[in-house]
Amino acid sequence: ATNVAETSLTVPGIRYVIDPGLARISRYSFRSRVQQLPIEPVSRASADQRKGRCGRISDGVCFRLYSEEDYDSRPEFTDPEIMRTNLASVILQMLQLKLGDIQRFPFVERPDRKQINDGFALLYELGAVDGQRQITRLGKQLARFPVDLRFARMLVAAGQLGCLHEIIVITSALTVQDPRDRPFDHQQAADEAHQQYRDERSDFLALTNLWKIYEELRQSLKAGQLRKYCRQNFLSFMRMREWREMHRQLLLICREMGLKENQGPADYGVIHRALLAGLLGQVAVRNGEHEYQGARNRKTFIFPGSSQFKRKPAWIVSAEVVETSRLFARTVAEIDSRWIEPLAGHLVRRTWHDPVFDEKLGQVMAREEVTLYGIVIVRHRMVDFSTVNEMEARELFIQQGLVEGRLKTRLKFYQHNHRLIRDIEQLESKTRRRDLLVESRALYEFYDQHLPATVSSEIGLRAYVNESKANAARLELTREELMRREAQLSESLYPDRLNVGNASLPLHYKFEPGTSDDGISVDIPLVMLGQVPASQLDWIVPGLLREKCLALIKSLPKSLRKHFVPAPETVEKALLDFDYDGRELVDAFADRLFRLSGTRVSASDFQLGNIEDYLALNIRVLDERGRLVASGRDIRVLRESLGQEVSEHLASRKPHPLERQGLTDWDFGALPDSVEVREGPVNVKLYPALVDDGTTVSINLCENQRQARLLSEKGLLRLLLIRLADQRRFLEKNIPNFETFSLYYATRGTRAALIENLVRAVFRFTLVEGKPEVRNTGEFEARLEKRGELFERMEQVARIVASVLQQTMAIEGQLRENDFEPAASDIRRQLDRLLPADFPESVPFEWLRHYPRYFRAIHHRIERLPGYLDRDSQLIDIIRPLELRYETVEESERERLTRFRWMLEEFRISLFAQSIGTHLPVSEKRLEKEWREVMGLRQ
């Protein structure tokens, strides 16, 4: 039952043979190009050979483990080896010996035609034959080696690459039986012993490591010691000798052929490129946890005994692929996929897809995919498509580069044509029609007609244009050739810039319905966001004003819209002498419609949500480098969302020469009304402001003039307090009747806070409030000359504050003693508004003078409350919504509503204490009008 039974040896003492009827027979599959070792039934001749191993000296017995019918059904003889092996070596020798066409050679048993074709395919892979199946010079070299042709190809490549020393060692080892023993009962010990030769990346280099160690020992040890070393390290001494002999023979042949050994050690990449030259069909790429995709879509697995079994590199090459229980790659090494293509240029298949014009390179590029036997070795490599398909590359160059304007070049004809096209597209965007520029097909046909067939890139185009002036002139288009019909637009109707103050903001026209920037876009620098009036943006441009007004009329409810029919005629009449007057368009247009028809229309009647987006300017906010920060159609929303960014930008930008810090006196000369700085594409006007930093003053630049004025008032007050420190201290110590009325303030704040607020209020009322802005040293010094008025003003303020605080305490006592809800809560809210934390500093002196009247009105209201609660509640319902409107406005916006705020106090007198009388005419309608006028001009 052993291999002895397959030999012709006579072994004495054998009396019995057990024949299972099976054998592992080597077969080569020309379809998958895999050497297989399947277990299959033996032939009758092989079975008889086995039976003959017993009874050679005397009678014996053969036990066959299969039936006689099975025996009779088997083929008479085993297939000859020429029918189950690769014929590449045979074919090459026949070509070398010039034995004629192998298809006609009189073989005893002719191999299958597919086997012959497979042999030629391997020879072509190795470069031994050309496309006409003629032997090449390399093929003649390979025919001289007495080894597998793959190994011969490695040796030739090694001689060229400078790693012949290592490759001879490897190929000679692969030619003989592996000298490393692995006995069944000592497998672990053998593996541990062989570990010393192991290489982490390559099983091939493990052979060179073994050779190096063995050769060093061979030089220093005696034969017996060497045999002992082999026995201890599980090496076959006889196979090692066979290996050395094969190495010697190959070395002599290489020297005869002029292949020189390298003196120094070769690196990993060189060695494995030489191996790849003979093993291109053994390349595989990882396609799962343990699975690899080999040539011709074979599923391959690394043999478990390989050093690469656990590492699982991405790309491998193996010395052989053998099919047993599964397809195993044996003697495996990690490789770089970039090594494959230069060696397999005659085998790879190249496909190209997604050709597109590359703006940077100025030519049409395509993604190239390179495959070897179905394995993708190069993915998505960009290559010049003109070398693949010059005609299609030229078409794409003309269409995408020239017609679509993606070519980046300074050629004069191209710049001329592009400028004309851009001007015509601008006209189309302004008129919102796509019927001026000729179709792209016409442009394509123009360039296709005038460009030579060889021009498919910017380099080729430049060469053609530089040949002669006539070539360049031939490629220039005229306005008449580009336009379907003539069109002229007035600059006044469709301006390219919007003038806001001293700044000129660029406008961009775009006609692409459905996109976020369809219509007209205006570029506004970030720091200028607070300076552009929303009302001015609402008027869009004169060329679209008629269309927007028509859309406004169509958005009205039907009950109002019927008064303005026909709408186009109404708009024509309304637009006569109708220009921007500081109001928003909806307010101005509503007023104009009322004047034309007598029908009352308010801005809130227009359903702005029904207006197309392109009829409102798209606001693009840019930073100092011209990069987009945010965009939208409502500047108010942008201001609210970008307020913090504006402040951070102003704080982080490079300081202006005017800006200073730590000031304690006006020693910086004149303070200009404004300065201009460059922000992106425009010059932006910023406004210097004196900023109160607590103990000192600084000069900062603000984007908003109103903000700068408010800050400067506080900064000027701080400078005055610093300069007039003596007067300040005197006032703090000489407040009339302070010890008396300060007691009334105990429930609202500290004594020190009241002194601070009183002194600051007196300074502000006397030297700042209601006076022209201070802009230079002279004006500042002149303001200081009014210091004598401080003491008189202090008497006035102290008298009012004393009276107010005393009355406040009395009012609060009355409210505690009586149940006057909800009137009591309303009065307490009023007291909190009249007496804020910084009272009296934050109250304008103009209105502080009226405080005694306000408090008399409160007393009068309380006296009437016992029999007047129901009516009082009704009056609260009238005043409370107006107060809530004011309270919901941001703190920064309330300065503009100062008059509205004090009109509310006067309105309270008209509601709750008419007998006392108001300072000015006031009513609910007047308050509404005041609110609309102020908020209508909101910037």
What is the SS3 string spanning 244-261? HHHHHHHHHHHHHCCCCC
Q: Counting beta carbons within 10 angstroms of the beta carbon of residue 524, is it exposed (0 to 12), middle (13 to 18) or buried (19 or more)? A: buried
Query: Both ends of the chain: CA-CA distance in Å?
Result: 105
pLDDT greater than 50 at residue 253: yes
Amino acid at 886: Y
Residue 55 has pLDDT above 70, yes or no: no
Contact residues for 353 (Cβ-Cβ < 8 A; gap 6+): 366, 367, 369
The yes-or-no verdict on residue 681 having pLDDT over 70 is: no
Is the peptide bond preceding residue 495 cis, with omega within 30 degrees of 0? Answer: no
Least-confidence region, from 8-12, 317-321, 449-453, 465-469: 8-12
DSSP string for residues in 843-890: S-HHHHTTHHHHHHHHHHHHHHGGGTHHHHHHHHHHHHHHHHHHHTS-
Which pLDDT band holds residue 259 (cuts at 50, 70, 90)? Answer: very high
Query: Region 168-179: what's the mean pLDDT?
Result: 91
pLDDT tens digit sequence for 701-732: 887 778 888 889 899 999 999 989 899 899 88
- pLDDT in the model for residue 936: 52
Which of the pair, 603 or 858, is modelled with greater confidence?
Answer: 858
Closest among 582, 579, 603 to 591, alpha carbons compared: 603
The pLDDT value recorded for residue 3 is 55
pLDDT at 156 over 90: yes
Q: What is the per-residue pLDDT for 602?
A: 84
Residue 425 CB contacts under 8 Å (≥ 6 apart), including other chains: 437
pLDDT band at 867; cut points 50, 70, 90: confident
In terms of Cα–Cα distance, which of 115, 122, 275, 281 is closest to 207?
275
What is the pLDDT at residue 937? 41
pLDDT the model gives residue 655: 76
Average of per-residue pLDDT across 758-772: 89
Cα dihedral 101, 103, 108, 109, rounded to 10, equals 150
**pLDDT for the residue numbered 388:** 92
- Residue 284: pLDDT band by 50, 70, 90 thresholds? very high
Half-sphere exposure of 165 (CA within 13 A, CB side): 12
Given a cut of 60, whether residue 33 has pLDDT beyond it is no
Query: Is the dihedral angle over the CA atoms 367, 371, 375, 377 positive or is it negative?
Result: negative
Residue 368 has what pLDDT? Answer: 95
The pLDDT value recorded for residue 939 is 34
Q: Is the pLDDT of residue 103 over 80?
A: no
Question: Residue 7 — pLDDT band, cuts 50, 70, 90?
Answer: low
User: Which one of 245-254, 477-486, 594-603 scores highest in mean pLDDT?
Assistant: 245-254
pLDDT tens digits for 572-626?
A: 888 888 887 777 888 888 888 888 888 888 888 888 888 888 888 999 988 877 7
Integer Cα distance of 891 and 904 in angstroms: 17
State the burial class of residue 237 (Cβ atoms within 10 Å of its Cβ: 0-12, 13-18, 19+): middle
In this prediction, residues 30-40 reach a mean pLDDT of 63
The mean pLDDT of 395-403, rounded to a whole number, is 93
CA 520/CA 630 separation, integer angstroms: 16
The pLDDT score that the predictor gives to residue 167 is 94
Hey, is 292 helix, strand or coil? strand
**pLDDT winner (highest mean) among 46-60, 326-340, 739-753:** 326-340
Mean pLDDT of 790-812: 89
The whole-angstrom separation of Cα 283 and Cα 822 is: 92
How high is the pLDDT of residue 882? 85
Q: Are 748 and 803 in contact (CB under 8 A)?
A: no
Angle, helix 203-220 to helix 268-278, in steps of 10 degrees? 110
User: Predicted confidence band at 938 (pLDDT cuts at 50, 70, 90)?
Assistant: very low
Return d(Cα 311, Cα 201) in angstroms, integer.
8
